[in-house]
Structure 1
Amino acid sequence: MPTEAEQLIKCLKEQPLDQIGSSKRWIAYHHMMEKLNLQAHQSAQRKQDNFVIEDLLTYQKFPTVVLNLLALELWKSNVFPLLQCQDSDAASLRLYFTIYHEATLTNLLEVAFYHEHVIEAIDDDLMLEIIDYCMRKVTWLIGLPRDAICANTRFHKSGEEIVQMMNAQSTKQELQRQQLEIEFCIAVQCVTMLRYIAERLHLLPLSIVSRLLDKHDVLLSLAVLIENPPWTHKVTVTAGKDEPKQVKWKKFVNQKWVFVEPGDLLVLTTTEAQVWLAIYYLLCTKSAREHYEVTQFRKDQLLRIRKYLNDLLLDQLPLLADIQRYLDELSIVQVGAALGNRSSLVMEAVPYLRLAILRRFLDQYAQIAQRFDELSRMMSRGDDLKELAEVYQMEGIDELLDAGASKSDSLGNEEKTNNQENRTQGKDDQKEQEEDVEPLVPHTVKLRFCNRKSIAAQKATKAPLIVELDNNEHIRNGSSKDGDDIVEVECRVDLAACKVMETKSHQYHRYALNIAASSAEGAIIRCHASAEAQIWFNDPDDSLVESSPVFL
């Protein structure tokens, strides 16, 4: 893979705004960047030499990545809303690729910025653009209503509610929902990038430090995220009809929402730790204090986070004691009412790369959107799916996706000291109970897809078994009772391909499925289709057991 990655990086070129999402060259570029991003995360997870990042530095391709990121940001804000093909099923997958590509680029930069020599080597003009980009995302995140996340995304919805939402939404509405979800993930990644930049503030020139601290006043933005964290959500759950409602908490961890026990609410997640670490480096380091002038307004805003610095937080991040001490001293110090007239800069550096792209295509957005609509008539979901499948066939990718670990997760753990010994015994007892349960062995799986009406999901009576639908062939139609509305596929479970997967909370088995030879070809499964799976098991006595249908 190092040789292949080197060749891919050598071929990286700037992608003009008018070619985004439409040309075959751009599609190849998207898959290329997706492979490089996945490889970079795989190397980080395995603690290996990250040759992708090193090659990007060696061949000076970070400017290309940043310019393409800025062009894509402008495309999403100026061209995407004008597209008439958002209601087209044929173009929906291509549009999703295009929207998701921004998350791919920011994810790659997030991994790269962990390395100090990368931040030191990046050109000043690029760093200004990256800081401005991150602050635009953080500002969007601060202004995003919390109710919008709950109502317009599937983050906090049950499986049944997600099916109802997808059936009720048009293709255009589904794309808008996906865009909101992706934007949220990108904004969280930008917070991590700002933390890495703040940590290396002493390596950056005065123009960048001034723009970060004075122009954007990033400290006050981070203080708002501490007071009103968008990655924490309170949800009301009803276990049954006659049972009272329960209040549960969820946190955004490793790019996904997970339930958190009430006793663990004050345990820092990686995302929460990044904000506190950024504040520490911007308040308690010499390079930041020398250039940050505290006014009365800034003092009032910063002192609002003092109440969150409790003993439990300091036990997890001891270095936050310096922030506590600084805020205590600040509370008794008299400061000026406004910024003084003094300035360390004779001339201020202004980012120009994004502005150049904006001026170049300022009057062409309507023509670019019209051209994309015309090309969308020749787009095919099948072809896009084939190319997407090639991306996820690299060695070890299943382990990377199952782990759900990003580089930022492993990085934050180096400075986080979590005391989890009190939960070890409980996990051991749970593991012993799981070992006493004799597992059922899956034998046959029948998949039933509904292209129009949703199929009601029934609750499984047995312990859940996670099964991977891993087959590179086209899905074929075994039998169809209602014409094209219902597509049934019978598959045999490949027991030889069984893999035991470990997560932090449980263990599960992964199987490959082989489509039965009697299945007929020619079935079409639409993007809004719902699905049911009926699974047959062999119990320990070798008798065949049929499970209730379980919702996928």
Structure 2
Amino acid sequence: MERSTGDSSSGNEQVLFPAEAEAHVSSLVKFSIPDIGCTQQWQRQREYLHKLNMQAVQNASQQSDEFVKEFLISHEKLGVLIHELIAVRLWKDKVFSLLSEGGGQKPKSTFPCYVVLYHEATIINLLETVLFYKESVEAVGDVTLDLVDYCHQCVTWLIANHETVPVEQQTTDDTLQELQQLNCTLNYGISIKALSVLQSFVTNLDCLPLSVTTRLLNTHDIPGLLVSVMDQQPWVRKDKNGKLLKHIEGKWRDVSPADRLQLTKTEAQVWISLYQLLMSPECQKKYHLHAHNKNHIMRLRSHLLETVVDQIPQLSELQRYLGHLSVMDPPASSSSDLVLEQVPEIYDQLVRQNNNQWRKIADQQRKKLFLPSDSDLQQQAKRWVEACNWDVLETLSGDAPKCAQCGQTSAMKRCSRCRSEWYCGRECQVKHWKKHKPFCDTISSSTPH
């Protein structure tokens, strides 16, 4: 499957030069959970990773020298990225959940927590871009199992919660509700990226330790999990008017009747992963196929339509395999083979380090994240402005800007103060001003004029 590319006719401006990118990569370190969102060092690294992600995506979309990937491999920093990814996820599960529990104090501004929540999406996007290549998958090394476990957690969340994710962010004056809604929306996008990362591992099993194959097939039963994903079709929704939407390149888009059967990138990745896991001779030998998961896998037959096979021809082999499997007993697996299996360490290590301290950490971080001073807010906004290159981001998205109030793609006017929001006209800008003003004031006061 080829990497999708964007329009490279514009966007010659780079976010980072190679020397800057190497300096940023070489400085990456692991942070403890109490540091997340609360120290200058963590904020600086978040800024570096944001820039590295934008540059990596820009290089990939323009098919230019992917020096960010090379530096991450040569400086052996992929393990640091995975540690930070798991740390932020654990922070969300253990600390943010306490900060945002019902009846608690509402945040003065959503910005400090937004920065932390968005950080997980930045890292998984960077990993997805980098792990497109086999040499990157090989370079992950001993922490591969940790990333496999993380992806399993994300995909499990997707199956259970995708129907609760709003297609568009709903306007609300409740800052806590806004953060919870944002977290749900970000989790959806992160889970979609996790499916892509899983596919990178599945298609490169030949260069990974045997324990990775065992964990994918039998510990987590990823084939069965992906069948559930195919049953749920989380990339398809209907809006409030009954119009069909598909999640394509990170956005919900209207789908014309002629394109309804066209596979999305995510759907194609799930099919390719299933093909590799079910058809590879080595996987067939290792997979513990029994009556229960055989019946579950047979559900794929209802999804293997002619239009799907036309788009991914090798799925005809999977179609034949499922036909044979339907009339025979599950083949015996080599489950009696002795396997010395590695175990993931990052998650358990972080839990041990902070066990029984989650409430204490939440209480310590509440002032910094929920009740920051005006000077702290301005400092964070300044860092955000310095890290974001709006022109490059718009070039990479390739979409017409949407009105922040009504969501229409006819937005032609931009906020002249912060330059981060678009509107289709003055009426929408005035309606949205009450919600936008705190963010706009913070950003504009931190932007050099």
Report the TM range for the smaller structure's normalisation: 0.7 to 0.9
**2:153 aligned with 1:136:** yes
Q: CA deviation at 1:94?
A: 0.8
Of 78, 89, 94 in structure 1, the residue corresponding to residue 108 of structure 2 is 89
Paired residue secondary structure (1:12): coil
The aligned counterpart of 2:6 is none
Change (3 A) 1:309 1:487: closer
Which range moved further: 64-73 or 383-392?
Answer: 383-392
Paired position in structure 2 for 1:442? none
Shift of 1:340: 6.6
Q: How does 1:122-521 map to 2 (within 5 A)?
A: 122-124=140-142, 126-144=143-161, 146=163, 148-149=164-165, 153=166, 155=167, 165-167=170-172, 169-237=173-241, 247-335=242-330, 342-375=335-368, 376-378=371-373, 380-393=376-389, 396-402=392-398, 464=410, 466-469=412-415
Q: Give the equivalent residue in structure 2 for 1:525.
A: 437
State the 1:121 CA deviation: 2.1
Higher-strand-fraction structure: 1
Structure 2 counterpart of 1:52, which letter?
A: V
Deviation digits for residues 465-494 of structure 1 (CA, Å, limit 9, x no counterpart): 52344656999xxxxxxxxx9999xxxxxx
CA distance in 2, matches of 1:487, 1:331: 57
Change over 3 Å in CA distance of 1:138–1:44 after alignment to 2 = same
Pick from 123, 127, 131 the counterpart of residue 105 of structure 1: 123
Where 1:60 maps in the other structure, the secondary structure is coil
Bigger-Rg structure (1/2): 1
Q: Structure 1's 59 and 528: CA in aligned 2 closer, same or farther, altered over 3 A?
A: closer
Q: Aligned partners of 1:267, 1:528: CA distance in 2, in Å? A: 40
Counterpart of 1:34 in structure 2 is 50
Q: Matched residues in 2 for 1:327 and 1:474: separation?
A: 51
Q: Render the CA deviation track for 1:138-170: whole Å, top value 9, x for unaligned.
A: 111111162x22xxx3x15xxxxx6xx423x41
Instruction: Describe the superposition over 1:391-414 as per-residue Cα deviations: whole angstroms up to 9, x where unpaired.
Output: 12387443113359xxxxxxxxxx
In structure 2, C-alpha distance between the alignment counterparts of 1:392 and 1:118, rounded to whole Å: 26
Give 1:381 deviation, angstroms. 3.3
Provide the rounded CA distance (Å) in 1 between the counterparts of 2:94 and 2:440: 27
Change (3 A) 1:486 1:192: closer
The 2-side partners of 1:188 and 1:145 are apart by 10
Residues 464 and 108 of structure 1, relative CA distance in 2, 3 Å threshold: closer
Q: CA separation in 1, counterparts of 2:203 and 2:333?
A: 26
Kindly indicate whether residue 54 of structure 2 is the aligned counterpart of residue 59 of structure 1. Answer: no
* TM-score, length of structure 2 as denominator length: 0.83
Q: CA deviation at 1:280?
A: 0.8
The residue aligned with 1:498 is: none
**CA–CA distance in structure 1, aligned partners of residues 393 and 161 of structure 2:** 33
Once residues 465 and 340 of structure 1 are traced to their aligned partners in structure 2, the CA distance between those partners, rounded to angstroms, is: 58
Distance in 1 separating the partners of 2:304 and 2:339: 38
Secondary structure of 2:340's aligned partner:
coil
Q: What is the CA-CA distance between 1:288 and the residue it aligns to?
A: 1.6
Residue identity matched to 2:412: I
Partner of 2:20: 4
Per the TM alignment, residue 269 of structure 1 is displaced from its structure 2 partner at its CA by: 0.9
Cα RMSD for the two superposed structures = 2.9
CA deviations on 1:280-338 (whole Å, 9 max, x unpaired) are: 111112232221132111221111111221221111111111111111111121227xx
Q: 1:14 to 1:145 in 2, by over 3 A?
A: closer
**In structure 1, distance between residues paired with 2:96 and 2:30:** 20
Please tell me whether the aligned partners of residues 25 and 72 of structure 2 are also in contact (alpha carbons under 8 angstroms). Answer: yes
Q: Contact 1:248–1:261 at 8 Å: present in 2 too?
A: no
Query: Highest relative contact order (Cα 8 Å, sep 6+), 1 or 2?
Result: 2
What SS does the corresponding residue of 2:245 show, helix, strand or coil? strand
How far is 1:384 from its partner? Answer: 2.3
> 1:87 is paired with a residue of what secondary structure?
coil
TM-superposed CA distance for 1:203, in Å, is: 1.4
- 1:321–1:365 Cα change, 3 Å: same
